[in-house]
Amino acid sequence: MSPATPTVVAFGDATAAQCDKAARLLQSRTGIILGDHKVGATQRILSTLSSRYADGDAGKFLYLLEENGEHAAWTEFINAFTVNHTAFFREPHHFVRLEEFFRSRPTGCSVWCAASSTGEEPYSIAMVAEEVYGATRAQCSILATDIDTRVLEFAQNGIYPSTRIGDVGDVRLKRHFLRGVESQQGKVRIRPNVQSRVTFAPFNLNERVWSVSGPFDAVFCRNTMIYFDRPTQQRLLEKFARVMRPGSLLFVGHSENISQLTNDFHLLGQTVYQRK
């Protein structure tokens, strides 16, 4: 008895096999793993990008990516799959710990926000830095990186809808933001003294050799490692350890537990780890 011919299920203009290939290419380039529930979203992304770059042919578009790692389409392809859920002072206990850490280092600190998204996280760090170091000569610089170039452009502007500052609090709102008027009504802008502490740059955590060298006193990489497989998580933590000073802090997301992945860090509590 001959085996049954497998059924290829099509999702719009992209087959299931093409969606699977897109997921493999994405993981190879970025480390991001797409779950099965992302097939529909993958089909829509392939439909949009293949119309732009390959006359609507999803197979041709994927071949283009596979054959040319420097093609401009790669940027749009990666941007389309990144998740950018963030907020000012998200997981508030991290910022209480960060303030304590800053105060224990009166000469200043260097911080890396390794998945900065639309900027709320690094600007929250910068506000704490301004509150601790603002009246001193101590330096506290924040490097904010992300693989998604769209969100970096948004973050660099430092302008947000008023609806996104609900967790900031009145005191910080007055101290660190400017309210928009006339055409900018309903928006707020990060004050220049806070904004100037942050440097934004594109960066792929899955790069074999990192261009980021540190050393850093604190690293934020929150709700990012959950999108990687275990070997990628372990490699990432090894690289973080290399660019962090002994005694520095690593802040991870509320659902991320790295204790079984690395011997370079020990848990201080509430998803805050310290470099040994």
- Report if residue 87 sits inside a domain: no
Q: In this model, does residue 9 exceed pLDDT 80?
A: no
Buried b / exposed e across 230-260, counting CB within 10 Å, b at 16+?
eebbbbbbebbbebbeeebbbbbbeebebee
* Token digits of residue 193: 């003294």
Please identify which of the residues 13, 20, 29, 44 carries the catalytic annotation: 44
Please say whether the beta carbons of 84 and 148 come within 8 A.
yes
Residue 86 contacts by C-beta under 8 Å, 6 or more apart in sequence?
117, 118, 120, 121
Looking at the fold, whether 242 and 169 belong to one and the same domain comes out as yes
Looking at the fold, whether 109 and 173 belong to one and the same domain comes out as yes
Looking at the fold, whether 76 and 158 belong to one and the same domain comes out as no
Q: What is the pLDDT of residue 84?
A: 87
Is 44 annotated in the active site? yes
Q: What is the pLDDT of residue 239?
A: 98
CA distance 266 to 41: 38
Cis bond upstream, residue 215 (ω within 30):
yes
* Token digits of residue 191: 């004050």
Q: In this model, does residue 270 exceed pLDDT 60?
A: yes
Q: What is the pLDDT of residue 1?
A: 36
What's the domain range around 57?
A: 10-81
Looking at the fold, whether 65 and 184 belong to one and the same domain comes out as no
Q: What is the pLDDT of residue 5?
A: 35
Q: Contacts from 63-70 at CB under 8 Å and sequence distance 24+?
A: 65/25, 66/25, 69/29
Q: What is the pLDDT of residue 11?
A: 41
Angle between helices 149-157 and 73-81 (to 10 degrees): 80
What is the tens place of the pLDDT at every residue in 174-188?
999 999 989 889 999
Q: What is the pLDDT of residue 183?
A: 86
Looking at the fold, whether 244 and 163 belong to one and the same domain comes out as yes
- Residue 57 pLDDT class (50, 70, 90 cuts): very high
Least confident of 166-170, 199-203, 233-237: 166-170
Last residue of a domain, one of 62, 81, 100: 81
Taking CA 196 as the corner, what is the angle to CA 190 and CA 199, rounded to the nearest 5 degrees?
105
Q: In this model, does residue 13 exceed pLDDT 90?
A: no
What is the domain-level CATH number for residue 157? Answer: 3.40.50.150
* Token digits of residue 8: 């290829």
Looking at the fold, whether 35 and 140 belong to one and the same domain comes out as no
Q: What is the pLDDT of residue 2?
A: 35
pTM (predicted TM-score) = 0.91
Is 146 annotated in the active site? yes
CA-based torsion, 226, 232, 234, 236: positive or negative: negative
Last residue of a domain, one of 29, 48, 81: 81
Please identify which of the residues 97, 146, 172, 217 carries the catalytic annotation: 146
What are the respective helix, strand and coil percentages of the chain, to the nearest 5? 45, 20, 35
Q: In this model, does residue 136 exceed pLDDT 70?
A: yes
Mean local confidence (pLDDT), 121-150: 96
What is the tens place of the pLDDT at every residue in 151-174?
999 999 999 999 999 889 999 999
Q: What is the pLDDT of residue 6?
A: 34
Q: What's the total number of domains in the chain?
A: 2
Looking at the fold, whether 110 and 244 belong to one and the same domain comes out as yes
